[in-house]
Structure 1
Amino acid sequence: MPNTPAGEGPRATGPQRRTLMKAGLGGAALAAAGLTFGSAGAAAAASSRVGPAGSAAPHDTGDWHHYVQGPSSRTVRPVGVLRSSGAVTAPEALLAPGGAATVLKRPQPQQPPRWPDGTTATASSFHAPNGGDDGQPRTYDAANAIDGDTGTFWNDDTIAAYPDTLTVTTAAPLSLPGITLLSNSDGAPSDFTVQTWDGSAWQTAATVTGNTDVRRAVPFGSTVSTTQVRINVTADQSTPQGEFTRINEVYPGLLPADDVPRVVVDFGKVVVGYPHISFSSASGNSPGVRLAFSETVQFLTDRSDFTRSDQSGVPSQGTDQFAVPAGGADWKDTKGYQSGTQVYADGLHGFRYLQISLDALASDAPAAQPWGEVSVDAVWLDFTAYLGTPESYTGWFLSSDDDLNRYWYGAAYTNELVTDTFRSDDIDPRGADSPTLDGKLVLQDGAKRDRDPYVGDLAVSARTLYLTHDDAAAAARDVLADLADHQRADGWIPPASINGYTLPLFDYPLWWVTCSWDYILHTGDRGYATGYYPHLTKVLDSWYPSVTDGDGLLSKGLNGTSGYGDYAFLGRSGQITYYNANYVQALNDAASLATYLGNSADAARWTARAGTVAAAVNAHLWDAAAGAYLDSSSGAARHAQDGNAIAITAGVADAGRAASALAHLDATTVLPYGNAFMDNDTIFDGASQRVYAFTSYPELVARFRSDRADSALDQIRRTYGWMDTHDPGITSWEGIGPDGSPYEGAYTSMAHGWSTGVVPALTNELLGVQPTAPGFSTWAVRPRPGSVAWARGQVPTPRGPLAVDWQHPRGGTFALTVRVPRGTTGSIAVPTDGRAVTVHVDGKLAWNGSKAKAYGAKAQDGYVVLDGITAGTRTVAVRPAG
């Protein structure tokens, strides 16, 4: 089946598709072993490992097929039932379509009791109103808790100062055996007391701790006659999504336990697309079905971990709804309404777990009712993203380390999930729709969110794409070209289509420059280079000079940029190492592009400016006492991963500063789940516990290129090993927070393209393959093996695959084979391991231990470098001299 996202016609594959690949498995491991949660999927995952960690996989080209994670077709079915509750018959039938049906039954719920007329409610605090989709403010005051409308709620405005109180007052004494609280699933109070007024003082009637129930009956010790009931919340955020207490209704009496029938199916890994459910029949009262989606078990509740409807103000309460007709239906869950403003469906989702409930919102009556019976024949997903099968991979990787192989293909699968068609119904709704992108292949941020392409993410995700599926390189070009087409008159380039291309970010125009050069290097697209060269000139020669200070450094705050953000929306201002190191990289990349197009004057000017900025960074932002670059020249002293890493990769730091900066990061940022992006918490609380794989990628590159391959491998194993062995497994997270948790709770994207840097890190640095001129017309192979015994792989180029295979036994002969495509030339650098060596190429001596015999061989920084390698299969052997 062609790798065509839904709604797009077939795409042509690359001109030089590999012909040696055999048909392989359509997706092997369902999930990583060692997941820290219990599920049917986890058992399957535990048996999916190719071999024990660190074992030497069989040395055969086809063996990498077993690591491929993509589904074998666009119809993806669940692999297990995680749990069921209530009246559910044969839940396992959902895994075997065509047999017995899964039946959910629920009797008609009794009407809840109402407060007497004249009852009022007050609260110690309530959240300020927010605007709804109708433009009218939504109120969150205390009256919502007794209005009989389960779609409204009281939202407190307290995060730490407890107690927060909700007081219900009746006009006359009421006899109460207890009360029942109905809360939003993202705001059920955790700890609270219930007090009643005896006419002269408050008396405690009940105490609740550790509550996780959305509907909680609270019985009193004995029936109480009172005119006032007070709920004192002493801790909220009982559910993972919660930040505040949100009580939809307080009922005067005790309701029976929630009897909603629910079944949760597990797809084994994060998937993305349109859910389908086939209903064979239903009772005649239009029973409602609600779907809740989550990438993790932790955030699987009665609402989805994220819905675009939440951001657009649609009152769906975080689920997709459907009213099942008596004759059954084949429901494809796409965005829309079944009847007016009722029975809302969000449509496309990124998720691993799907909860199906026989239930309906009160606002959906009478179109859907929260009771009756439904029979479910089958559940599946229409997969919309790039379909990554062994046949589709034009680039691949395999090594002696099973863990590294698994991380590489897990990240590649993550990137496939975000390679999709831009569709107005499936993007985040914050003004992100764009007619200039609709229908085009793009790289989104994440499978779940943000479903909008940001150029900074392409700094990683586009490289992953070029190295795995070059037939989809248009996804990067479409984004880069569209953003350039929306360049502001002053030269600034927007980061994304969000907010009508107006989101003010300070660093992303620099990423547009570097990503443009990356695209040209990998594809040789000269038309793009010439067509968008004026945009590049304008951003570098107009906008960034307008925010350059007297020291020659970019300074956020100049030219009205004090409110601009960056990739993490950090409150940074003034001279920032990260911005300026990135500026040096962008200027040098622009100079390379200018040279390619024959614009020598521009190339010289940008190269000179890059040198000036680099010198200023070293003069004003190097902290000699810490031995690392400051995050900022002003304010509290802190040292950031982004600035220090990119200062090394951009060539700002010399070898001494590079070694010192990496040693500082070793001493201050190492965590069990990666390296933190800040060395202290002066920029915000918890910064020194936060890991971004996005900014970890340049640190990995810096470590490899500073001859610290094993420290790079250690960082990879901690960062990607953590994500691989924690729910949802396999995919690369947007960010990791304290104790290894998803850094923004349920909102965190657990499959995010900007976190896939392990792919280019292992291919470009460990395997050692790099383009050095557009379209791989020239290239370099420079392995950095560290403790890895062998590696092999293939990189797609416009002229055909460039394949590399090396073995590095400890103390033995380093052997390298390179298969070079026609029309290209390159250099090969082989490690000497600090020894005197001889180097033979195709059996002929090229380096005798002290001087060149062929290929202009020279000793350089622990390597012997061979130039002028031409097309064909070349074998290189490195042996101890003498």
Structure 2
Amino acid sequence: MPDRSAGAEPGVPAPQRRTVLKAALAAAGVTVGAAAPAAASAQPAEPTGAAASAGASQEAAHEAAPSWQSYVQGPSGRTVRPTGIVRSSGDVTRADALLRPGGGTTVLKRPEPADPPRWPEGTTAAASSSHAPNNGNDGRPRTYDASNAIDGDTDTFWNDDTIAAYPDTLTITTAAPVTLPGITLLSNPDGFPTDFTVETWDGAAWSTAATVTGNDRVRRAVPFAAPVATTRVRITVTADQDTPKGDFTRVNEVYPGVLADDEIPRVVVDFGKVVVGYPHLRFASASDNSPGIRLAFSETLQFLTDRSDFTRSDQSGVPAQGTDQIAVPAGGADWKDVKGYQSGSQVYADGLHGFRYVQISLDALPADAPAAQPFGEVAVDSVWLEFTGYVGTPDTYRGWFLSSDDDLNRYWYGAAYTNELVTDTFRPDDIDPRGADSPTLDGRLVLHDGAKRDRDPYVGDLAVSARTLYLTHDDTAQAARNVLADLAEHQRADGWIPPASINNYTLPLFDYPLWWVTCSWDYVLYTGDRGYATRYYPQLVKVLDGWYPSVTDADGLLSKGLNNTGGYGDYAFLGRTGRVTYYNVLYVQALRDAAALAAFLGHADDAARWTTRAGTVADAVNAHLWDADAGAYLDSATGAVRHAQDGNSLAVVAGVAEAERAAAALAHLDATTVRPYGNAFMDNDTIFGGASQRVYAFTSYPELLARFEAGRADSALDQIRRTYGWMDRNDPGTTHWEGIGPDGSLYEGAYTSMAHGWSTGVLPALTNELLGVLPTAPGFASWSVRPHPGSIAWARGQVPTPHGPLTAHWQHPAAGVFTLAVRAPHGTRGEVAVPTDGRAVTVTVDGRRAWSGGRPAAYGATLQDGGGRILLNGLGPGAHTVTVRPEGR
């Protein structure tokens, strides 16, 4: 989903994208340049002689390598059990029994809590500020004034009316003097004071009774050095728990006394990595007073508190206070977490969750009495998850990857698992509730944005997650088609295509209709689905020839603000207007993708028109948005000077930037955006504070492609290791985050999705660029293998195609012979481009000389990339071995 706090990536990389477009246009009868050399002759299906020997020795060299299957992260089936106990507190016995179904029970006990002390009649409260009344999550009007802090109702609270502006003060006044040994503060988990002082009034002046710093408790007892007789108590807050919504003070109750720690029995269970689905608990027994169990879920330990890091009920008007509630019957129960109330309008659970950790507490909401009570005894036999994502096992992978670098292997399979979590059925009870339900999607397989949050498919995210799917589990390609088709069928009359079903298909984004075009081409390119292309071609024409011309200025550039689009957002809801490089280079990419699709369907006039327009826009970008002083493209021609990762990277990928500009733009990003946890998406903070410290794997993906395609493989690998290495090493591990903030933090705190499909670009980058396998015609009728080895010693992998698997395996020793083995399915033909490493080389294909003495000998061999590669055409189905030897060897 677009990031609300202020994400994007491309289609086929620039040289490869131009090859695809050129071939498609030529097939449609559109002339765009000299034709590629014809193959010298038909080639043998299987290698023989020297070629066979080379292939055999290549396989023998890697017999000791780990199997790719050992890196697979998914569960073996739908039932997923926890891997460990993080901690327990309070009266809990045998917490580890939760890990051994049938091996005993975990028992939680809690005595009935005593009633807390109350302020005497006539006590009043006042605050420095109070938030204005509004409707609470239950839909009823709520007030947030100071009196809520002394009313004895823990469901109400005082909320100040400032964000990160201190001090916040709360003053309590009694009608007559009271003697206090201290106070106890009960606060809200998403706004509890961390630094505060407590003062008492002696009749003439305030005296400090206690100072608290670094508080990490929602309920905090504050004893005084000695009892104090007073008529006034003042609490001054100078820091609060930081939340994605800002810093604010929320105090539910201030008690006139020091309450003993109420050790709520708790167990924190770890599932080992982020999982998604319906939690289950089996209760062996319980006391007969309907003791309550509350569950709090989190993807990270950092944000595991008394409430979940995210619950859909917080956005849907249900007063669940961030946890899922259970009232346990005396006879025990097998309980599945499904959305709804257990007892009338009491004891609510949210249903499906994405999480790594779950906290199980013997507790209940005051509002749930008597249906659930916060005391008693509960015996828990086991806890598990009913996994709802795609179950990816070694048997289900139709595409795989392995290399000499263990880190890259982990990142590839971490991306695959992240994507499996979001490959799920669209269900009304499990999606984000912000007007996202759609009868046309209900029950269909889709690619959601995230596991725990943004459970609604956005087309921009598909630009990454759909490629990840096509390269791993293409048997579920229908998930991408379902989303693309549904959005096309909700096209607006003026041609604009919605980004998602959210807000009943009305969320106004400026860039996402372009992603729909390029994602549609991706889908056709990988699957060959002509029926989809034909069915939704009219929508493609309407968006490119209808809506985008309505926001195009006199120089042919898209300009946000035209046609009443000033309020439109983008993947990050960035406040940029006018001529924005990112929008325009994405437009070039979409036009070229549309031209290729038009050529595939035989619409030569459309293909020619869009190709011409793409060239016009590219020329205008270079004329009006290139900053020669910085050697990079401006983020926008309007406002402060800055240079963005999205626009500069896509300019390279879409072929807008020629070699000199591409090198300069990437050098500028090197000089200004490199962070220990990836590359920032802006080079300064003029668009919002901290922008130059924020990393999106979404917008990093096109930069990785740009670096590979520009011949800078090692810089791409360095960026991968910093970005994905950071996510791999930090909690929750394995899965890929929606965004990274300053110092490597979760960029939106607890709200951040830690398993997000738009961040899985490392997988297509490694398969398409490092291994080098790409489709060049719909359905892999033709293909290309163009490795970018960098410093990697070897890589191998398989890509699924409609014709069967396509495999590649190359070795790149530091010095010596480069070898590439390819096995292509029947019904396909392809090309390979092998590196020369800047040397004079001899190239053979299946033992036949193809290049020698600086001249072609067969296979239409041509020198490319300034002598850095030799392109070979016309390889047919079957196995082929290509060797690249220094001249004279």
TM category (shorter chain) comes to over 0.9
Q: 1:551 to 1:242 in 2, by over 3 A?
A: closer
Shift of 1:559: 0.7
Partner of residue 744, structure 1:
748
SS in 1 for 2:125: strand
Q: Is the 8 A contact 2:783 2:830 kept in 1?
A: yes
SS in 1 for 2:109: strand
Shift of 1:129: 3.2
Query: What is the aligned counterpart of 2:236 among 232, 235, 238?
Result: 232
Alpha-carbon distance in 2 for matches of 1:805, 1:494 = 41
Q: 1:241 to 1:487 in 2, by over 3 A?
A: closer
Partner of residue 292, structure 2:
288
Shift of 1:170: 2.2
Segment of structure 1 superposing worse, 192-201 or 656-665: 192-201
* Aligned ranges 1:441-840 → 2 under 5 Å: 441-840=445-844
Segment of structure 1 superposing worse, 265-274 or 199-208: 199-208
Shift of 1:237: 1.6
Shift of 1:70: 0.1
Deviation digits for residues 804-858 of structure 1, max 9, x if unmatched?
0010111111111100111011111111111111111111111123222221111
Q: Is the 8 A contact 2:708 2:788 kept in 1?
A: yes
Q: Is the 8 A contact 2:446 2:482 kept in 1?
A: yes
* Amino acid corresponding to residue 567 of structure 2 in structure 1: G
Alpha-carbon distance in 2 for matches of 1:306, 1:327 = 32
Q: Is the 8 A contact 2:137 2:315 kept in 1?
A: no
* Aligned ranges 1:360-375 → 2 under 5 Å: 360-375=364-379
Q: Which has the higher contact order (CA 8 A, sep 6+)?
A: 2
Deviation digits for residues 234-259 of structure 1, max 9, x if unmatched?
11126898731211111111211021
Q: Is the 8 A contact 1:678 1:688 kept in 2?
A: yes
Alpha-carbon distance in 2 for matches of 1:158, 1:132 = 18
SS in 2 for 1:575: coil
SS in 2 for 1:720: helix
Deviation digits for residues 273-319 of structure 1, max 9, x if unmatched?
00000000000110000000010111111111111111113111110
Shift of 1:442: 0.4
Q: 1:57 to 1:757 in 2, by over 3 A?
A: farther
* Amino acid corresponding to residue 82 of structure 2 in structure 1: P
Q: Is the 8 A contact 2:137 2:319 kept in 1?
A: no
Q: Is the 8 A contact 1:294 1:304 kept in 2?
A: yes
* Aligned ranges 1:99-138 → 2 under 5 Å: 99-138=103-142
Shift of 1:225: 2.4
Query: What is the aligned counterpart of 1:405 among 405, 409, 412?
Result: 409
SS in 1 for 2:856: coil
Q: 1:340 to 1:368 in 2, by over 3 A?
A: same
Segment of structure 1 superposing worse, 721-730 or 197-206: 197-206
Gaps of 5+ in 2: 1-59
Partner of residue 381, structure 2:
377
Q: 1:571 to 1:384 in 2, by over 3 A?
A: same
Deviation digits for residues 782-802 of structure 1, max 9, x if unmatched?
000000000000000000011
Q: Is the 8 A contact 1:187 1:241 kept in 2?
A: no
Q: Is the 8 A contact 1:212 1:239 kept in 2?
A: no
Deviation digits for residues 69-96 of structure 1, max 9, x if unmatched?
0001111000000000000000011111
Query: What is the aligned counterpart of 1:845 among 844, 849, 863?
Result: 849
Alpha-carbon distance in 2 for matches of 1:61, 1:497 = 45
Shift of 1:669: 0.4
Partner of residue 76, structure 1:
80
Alpha-carbon distance in 1 for matches of 2:431, 2:204 = 57
Shift of 1:594: 0.4
Matched, 1:322 2:364: no
Partner of residue 17, structure 1:
none
SS in 2 for 1:532: helix
Alpha-carbon distance in 2 for matches of 1:128, 1:494 = 34
Alpha-carbon distance in 1 for matches of 2:509, 2:151 = 43
Query: What is the aligned counterpart of 1:867 among 855, 860, 873?
Result: 873
Matched, 1:881 2:866: no
Alpha-carbon distance in 1 for matches of 2:334, 2:247 = 37
Alpha-carbon distance in 2 for matches of 1:545, 1:127 = 45
Matched, 1:343 2:351: no
* Amino acid corresponding to residue 517 of structure 1 in structure 2: W
Alpha-carbon distance in 2 for matches of 1:575, 1:350 = 39
Alpha-carbon distance in 2 for matches of 1:242, 1:75 = 38
Q: Is the 8 A contact 2:200 2:209 kept in 1?
A: yes
SS in 2 for 1:408: helix
Shift of 1:168: 1.6
* Aligned ranges 1:201-280 → 2 under 5 Å: 201-237=205-241, 243-280=247-284
Segment of structure 1 superposing worse, 182-191 or 669-678: 182-191
Partner of residue 159, structure 2:
155
Shift of 1:204: 1.8
Segment of structure 1 superposing worse, 289-298 or 185-194: 185-194
Partner of residue 7, structure 1:
none
Alpha-carbon distance in 1 for matches of 2:245, 2:295 = 17
SS in 2 for 1:531: helix
Q: Is the 8 A contact 1:215 1:258 kept in 2?
A: no
Partner of residue 178, structure 2:
174
Alpha-carbon distance in 2 for matches of 1:261, 1:368 = 16
Q: 1:642 to 1:242 in 2, by over 3 A?
A: closer
* Amino acid corresponding to residue 500 of structure 2 in structure 1: A
Deviation digits for residues 100-128 of structure 1, max 9, x if unmatched?
11000000000011222332222111223
Shift of 1:759: 0.3
Shift of 1:771: 0.6
* Amino acid corresponding to residue 867 of structure 1 in structure 2: N
SS in 2 for 1:88: strand
Alpha-carbon distance in 2 for matches of 1:272, 1:241 = 25
Alpha-carbon distance in 2 for matches of 1:718, 1:212 = 31
* Aligned ranges 1:82-97 → 2 under 5 Å: 82-97=86-101
Shift of 1:218: 1.1
Partner of residue 187, structure 1:
191
Alpha-carbon distance in 2 for matches of 1:851, 1:57 = 31
Shift of 1:62: 7.5
Q: 1:394 to 1:753 in 2, by over 3 A?
A: same
Identity %: 79
Q: Is the 8 A contact 2:149 2:157 kept in 1?
A: yes
Q: Is the 8 A contact 2:98 2:381 kept in 1?
A: yes
Q: Is the 8 A contact 2:138 2:319 kept in 1?
A: no
Alpha-carbon distance in 1 for matches of 2:275, 2:166 = 40
Shift of 1:200: 2.6
Shift of 1:384: 0.3
Q: Is the 8 A contact 1:210 1:238 kept in 2?
A: no
How many residues are matched?
827
Segment of structure 1 superposing worse, 513-522 or 245-254: 245-254
Deviation digits for residues 719-754 of structure 1, max 9, x if unmatched?
000000000001000000000011110000000000
Alpha-carbon distance in 1 for matches of 2:61, 2:614 = 44
Shift of 1:517: 0.1
* Amino acid corresponding to residue 221 of structure 1 in structure 2: A
Alpha-carbon distance in 1 for matches of 2:854, 2:156 = 81
Q: Is the 8 A contact 1:105 1:374 kept in 2?
A: yes
